Amino acid sequence: MQLFGGIESGGTKFVCLVGNSPDNLIREERFPTTTPHETIDRLIEFFWPYIKSGELSAVGIASFGPLDLNPSSPTYGYITTTPKPGWNKIDLYGEIQRKLQVPVAFDTDVNAAAFGEQYWISENRAMDPFIYVTVGTGIGVGVIVNGFPLHGLIHAEAGHFAIPHNWQRDPFPGVCPYHGDCLEGLASGSSMRKRWGQDPESLPDLHPGWDLESDYIALALVNLIYAYSPQRIILGGGVSQHPGLLQAVRWKVQQFMNGYVQSAMLMDRIDEYILPPALGNRSGGLGAIAMATELVLA
């Protein structure tokens, strides 16, 4: 059987998958992100039996970043400037490619998640441009155009959007080490934790923090809609799963646009326009498998 590997590398954990579709996953393992050396050794060990049996055709990596995604750059495939200790300038792609000796696809975790949601969900194939937004510990945005993740100078960093910040309503200065009160600085899980002194999961439903949160996310989505005119937006990540948040975001997107974009999808069918991920918390890993599949079968 022809199999593909998917690696979702995060700042706190790595998720490894082997299979060839969302319905046919042979094995899945999660382990904590420690030193690059130790972590990469563990994932090589995970994939090794399938390399030995000759079944593993390719591997996709969906990585936290920022990443160097320019194939002509000498540091292609590196994690570049992460605040994660020990992971600066790590050749993640090269290390894995050299050790496994199979073709390796490489992209950001959110680009991979966006790709996976479009690739595996047949209804989403027609939805292009297609955008995946994750609001978790950090905020990331993956944009798919013509069936492939959009790359440019590096990759989209819309998690760092500059958005209106009402200092009277929200005196919190934000947590982004680069910008303070950018979108991630104001609306990420880390910023909620610091602002309210508790985990977003334990913040009560009626806490004013949720109203603020849905405002910030809706503002970001409005900017994405103006910039890319996506046919569909997926809102993923742990924070987005809070009950009622998605509905509040949909309603506020309509309010903020104020009828400017004349699309029935936005005005009347926004429940079909902004959706939770169909692949749940496996969007990234299954996206990595989709990238690996595409590398070999395309």
Cis before 129 (ω within 30): yes
Residue with tokens 């903020």: 256
Q: In angstroms, what is the minimal distance from the CB of 183 to Zn ion?
A: 7
Site for Zn ion in 179-238 (CB under 5 A): 179, 182
Of 160 and 165, the one with the shorter C-beta distance to Zn ion is 160
Of 117 and 181, the one with the shorter C-beta distance to Zn ion is 181
Contact 154, 106 (CB under 8 A): no
Residue type, 280: G
Instruction: Count the residues of the shown chain that bind Zn ion, applying the rule CB under 5 A.
Output: 5
Of 7 and 163, the one with the shorter C-beta distance to Zn ion is 163
Of 160 and 282, the one with the shorter C-beta distance to Zn ion is 160
Q: In angstroms, what is the minimal distance from the CB of 182 to Zn ion?
A: 3
Of 84 and 179, the one with the shorter C-beta distance to Zn ion is 179
Q: In angstroms, what is the minimal distance from the CB of 187 to Zn ion?
A: 11
**Cα-based angle 32, 37, 40 (whole degrees, multiple of 5):** 60
Instruction: Verify binding: residue 131, Zn ion, rule CB under 5 A.
Output: no
Q: In angstroms, what is the minimal distance from the CB of 242 to Zn ion?
A: 22
Q: In angstroms, what is the minimal distance from the CB of 166 to Zn ion?
A: 18
Of 160 and 232, the one with the shorter C-beta distance to Zn ion is 160
Q: In angstroms, what is the minimal distance from the CB of 186 to Zn ion?
A: 9
Binding-residue pattern over the window 145 to 184 for Zn ion, x denoting contact by CB under 5 A: ---------------x---------------x-xx--x--
Tell me the C-alpha distance between 18 and 203, whole Å. Answer: 36
Q: In angstroms, what is the minimal distance from the CB of 66 to Zn ion?
A: 12
Of 48 and 178, the one with the shorter C-beta distance to Zn ion is 178
Site for Zn ion in 39-78 (CB under 5 A): none
Contact 274, 250 (CB under 8 A): yes
- Report the interface residues with Zn ion, using CB under 5 A: 160, 176, 178-179, 182
